Amino acid sequence: MRNVLITGASRGIGAATARLFAENGDRVFLNYHRSHQAVQALCAELTAQGCSVFPLQADVSDPQAVQAMFRTLSDHGTDIDVLVNNAGIAQTKLFTDLTDDDWHTMIDTNLSSVFYCCRAALPAMIRRHSGRIINVTSIWGQIGGSCEVHYSAAKAGIIGLTKALAKEEALSGITVNAVAPGVIQTDMLSPYSPEELQVLQSEIPVGTLGTPSDVARAVFFLASPHSSFITGQILSVNGGSV
């Protein structure tokens, strides 16, 4: 049984990923910041199925909170085998309207959190000479998104971090990869009107929006033994958009 930590696991891609790992026999730690009720409901659902799941509250944009979260795991004799850095926020705003707070909040939540969690998880992985890290980036980190400059920059930073860290940790038996979702049916689409969503869908070659489960299956593959010779890669889950 592997120990799997998923950040931002209360809903959307994080919750779908937690379900997939838990239902396949892994011990899953569901990190969340404020969504206490959502995580408790997910834990109750999975526990009723006989799964081994545990909630872990921490603001992963805060380095001290991340250290405390991993200290809690260590105090219970738990090292993480698979780290899924999924926590993130989105904001649609003209570049000229972005404030310093907008920028720092986006970078801290979407990019710095990945750095903090990787830094905390790696010592035990290096000691055991094994581990899987999967970071969730975005199609906008690959091609850029109008009115989402700060979001695109943060997600592009994850891609650079993933590629560099993979090279650094390869000889330690650790793989580091990323999944880049396209347009996925999550809460992040809530600002879009039905007409705007229809336009987005029409631009996707397969003709449909993606689901959280589509992304979860990609993450699960990169955490599996079948991906042992894959590292430093960005797996696009976007219906052929890029």
pLDDT for 187 equals 81
pLDDT for 200 equals 85
pTM of the full structure:
0.96
Which residues does 152 contact at the CB level (< 8 Å), separation at least 6?
Answer: 138, 140, 141, 144, 145
Strand 82-85 vs strand 52-57: parallel, antiparallel, or unpaired? Answer: unpaired
Of 78, 65, 170, the C-alpha closest to 117 is 65
Classified as helix, coil or strand, 101 is helix
Task: For residue 211, give Cα distances in angstroms to 122, 136, 195, 222.
Answer: 30, 14, 19, 18
For domain 3-237, give the fold: Rossmann fold (3.40.50)
CA distance between the termini of the chain: 36
Query: Over its length of 242 residues, how does the chain's per-residue pLDDT go in tens digits?
Result: 999 999 999 999 999 999 999 999 999 999 999 999 999 999 999 999 999 999 999 999 999 999 999 999 999 999 999 999 999 999 999 999 999 999 999 999 999 999 999 999 999 999 999 999 999 999 999 999 999 999 999 999 999 999 999 999 999 999 999 999 999 988 878 778 888 888 888 999 999 999 999 999 999 999 999 999 999 999 999 999 98
Distance CA 117, CA 126 (A): 14
Q: At what angle do helices 36-48 and 12-23 cross, to 10 degrees?
A: 20
- Residues recognised as catalytic: 151
pLDDT for 196 equals 85
